[in-house]
Structure 1
Amino acid sequence: MTRFLTWHRRPLCGFDLETTGTDPETARIVTGCVIRYGGGQPTRAQTWLADPGVEIPAAATAVHGYTTEAARSAGRPAPAAVEEIIAALAAAADAGLPLVVMNANYDFTLLDREARRYGLTPLFDRVAPCVLDPRVLDKQVDRFRRGGRTLADLCSHYVVRLDGAHSADADAAAACAVVWKIANRHRWLTERPLGELHEEQVRWAAEQAAGLRDHFVRTGRPHLAEGVRLDWPVIPYRESAVTGDVR
């Protein structure tokens, strides 16, 4: 009899971006990575260094290490890099692999805006991927745990090695490893079909964001509450909300 393999025993597709800033509506891609992880096979990674076409702020360089000069001299033209990243993710989704992305609504929203900036078809207009977000999953299965929920925090909690944090390949692999650990610890997640689990995360992410927004209001920080979005895994595009350099 053929043994049934739950989704966490099959390959995962990890994705991560390092960028010029923290606002997904305006930031640009500097590096990206798409990896195939797990399923009893060696990890395979595709990586990109892009010339974002704008200055890379010193604060962003301090995070990922790339200066404007380095990206301009060695980076691919941004439109080409963005198209190749989207194509790699679409191919993984078409092959039935879930896309594992830490804080998915940042990376996917930024990728969506980059696609529109260069007249490319966005990922979610090409495919309907199943997404697994370690941050959303962790907050659902262990919602009252104190402490941070960054990727580094999750790696520490789930005993996942994180070498070279804030490099796209290291972060993508670590996110996959964290999702595997969460799924292996909370086996009820593995009993959910991936499509169903994706839809549950849409609801969980909205509930988690609403809770954060309420916390900001209760603690006298309404200006922070205004910036909390309930959308997951991508913030819908609204032309009126985007700065003039995005079309």
Structure 2
Amino acid sequence: MTDSLVDALEAETGVTCVVGAGGKKSTLYALAARLERAIVTATVRIPPFEEQVADLAITERPLEVARSNETWPLGLVPAREGDDRYRGYGRETVDALADLEGVPILVKADGARTRWFKAPAEKEPQLPSTANTVVPIASTRVVGERLEDEHVHRPERVAAVTELEMGDRISPADVATVLASEAGGCKDVPDGATVVPLLNMADTPELAETAREIAAAIHDRRDVPRVVVTSLLEENPVVDVV
């Protein structure tokens, strides 16, 4: 078992994109804090994150800013949208950032409105073609909850990917089905990118065991190199690698 989130998610180089629900932003910020140099950005809306980076630049010329930057990690966004979020860049802009040598790019590539679980809408995710690693995320805590808006973003999409109906209890197998599906966590993954699912909020031994059950079911459904189990509030967030 590795104790390094960076190693487990293969985020030391290239472009790492997070999708899903239940820990996307926390994963980005945890990775950024562990890398010598990194850029945190998004292809979708993202809440303010000035406190999670050394500097945040609002710019339509992110490549120029990144090339002259000396303080890391660096946050890059194109514009503010209201008081509570920034806009994301187009995918081709993130593709251009991927040309930076020795600077990992960390990308929020869809939204979930703080829910624990989701399946993507028609125009999601917004993955750049240069993505090296795609990390579909779900919260382990969603197991046992009902398929409804309180904990699930776009529950009707989850129902379409699984055999669930609205109001049904969510099982480990349901979480695995969504994360492993090309209509779910593996939607639109670029050719050549590695998929590494992540199960967050495994904050107790019981939740960690639930996460391992989900991980085993993911391996039954899709060929992935590993499933990472995390408790992102901890100093060492990697609970297990399955």
TM interval, shorter chain, is under 0.3
Larger radius of gyration: 1
Kindly indicate which of the two structures has a greater share of residues assigned to strand: 2
Kindly indicate which of the two structures has a greater share of residues assigned to helix: 1
